[in-house]
């Protein structure tokens, strides 16, 4: 038997504050109150979600998903899932504030081989906001790995002029670990918009 998937709708402006708690934005913690995994380099990711004319998107929901520091997922679709870091979740969510700002904490992801390709270390970000009738998905990369980035099969599909917009920018230290900036421009024309993906 086959069932068509339900249509998607906007998340609207009123996603409950109670659904986004402190530490939900820490991908290195498997649960509320759990300590962050220490098997990797601790990083902080900060950014803003903006729309046309650079205005802030308030109460947008951003969700992050990535492999552990060795490039593994604790999920049956990863052949090496049994070796994945059991103290690392790889998922987190954050709501944007009045300035459109969000923050995540995590560990630097590892890259992985898949088929004939090699995925460079990356984090998938999903944005849900008022006016978006489907979640927008993008993928951020790190400037540490130019050779891996050059071979990444997803980054290769992005128009060359827009690729730099998928690179997180180093922004000093936060709590003693490296901090990166990655801004999400939802609408801003060909020269400013963040590239977003579909399958």
Partner 1 sequence: MQPPDRFDPWPEGIEPAVPIPGYANTFTHLPSQPLIRRPATRTEATGPFRLDRKLPCGDDNLAVPGPGRIALGQLIHIAGRVLDEDARPVPGAVVELWQANAAGRYFHPIDTRDAPLDANFIGSGRVLSDAEGRYGFFTIRPGAYPVPGPATWWRPPHVHFSVLGPASLSRLVTQMYFPGDPLNPLDRILMSVPDAAARERLVARLVPPAEVGLGWLGYAFDLVLRGRAATPAMP
Could you say which residues in the range 168-197 bind partner 1, by CB under 8 A? 186-190, 193-197
Chain residues 6-45 in contact with Fe ion, contact rule CB under 5 A = 12
Query: Collapsing DSSP states into helix, strand and coil, what is residue 180?
Result: strand
> In the structure encoding, which two tokens stand for residue 153, read together?
């099969």
CB proximity list for 29: less than 8 A, separation 6 or greater = 23, 35, 36, 37, 89
Q: How far is CA 185 from CA 52, 54, 133, 174, in A?
A: 8, 8, 16, 24
Q: How far is the CB of 10 from Fe ion (least distance, A)?
A: 9
136 binds partner 1 (CB under 8 A): yes
Give the strand order in the sheet containing 91-95.
Answer: 91-95, 61-65, 122-128, 136-141
Chain residues 86-115 in contact with partner 1, contact rule CB under 8 A = 89-92, 112, 114
Chain residues 112-131 in contact with partner 1, contact rule CB under 8 A = 112, 114, 117, 119, 122, 124, 126, 128-131
Closer to Fe ion by Cβ: residue 12 or 35: 12
Phi, psi of 18 (to 5 degrees): -70, -15
Judged by CB under 8 A, the residue of 135, 148, 171, 174 near partner 1 is 135
132 binds partner 1 (CB under 8 A): yes
Judged by CB under 8 A, the residue of 77, 172, 175, 176 near partner 1 is 77
Sites of contact with Fe ion (CB under 5 A):
12
């Amino acid at each position: 038997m086959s069932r068509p998937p339900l249509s998607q709708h906007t998340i609207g402006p009123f996603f409950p504050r109670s659904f986004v708690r402190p530490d939900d934005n820490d991908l290195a913690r498997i649960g509320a109150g759990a300590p962050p995994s220490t098997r990797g380099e601790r990083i902080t990711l900060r950014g803003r979600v903006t729309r046309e004319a650079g205005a802030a998107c308030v109460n947008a929901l951003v969700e992050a998903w990535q492999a552990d520091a060795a490039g593994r997922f604790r999920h049956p679709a990863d052949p090496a899932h049994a070796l994945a870091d059991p103290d690392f979740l790889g998922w987190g969510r954050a709501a944007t504030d009045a300035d459109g700002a969000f923050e995540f904490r995590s560990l630097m992801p590892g890259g992985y081989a898949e088929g004939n390709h090699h995925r460079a270390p990356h984090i998938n970000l999903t944005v849900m906001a008022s006016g978006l009738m489907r979640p927008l998905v993008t993928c951020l990369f790190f400037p540490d790995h130019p050779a891996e980035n050059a071979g990444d099969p997803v980054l290769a599909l992005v128009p060359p002029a827009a690729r730099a917009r998928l690179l997180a920018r180093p922004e000093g230290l936060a709590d003693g670990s490296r901090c990166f900036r990655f801004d999400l421009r939802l609408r801003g024309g060909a020269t400013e918009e963040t590239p977003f993906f579909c399958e």
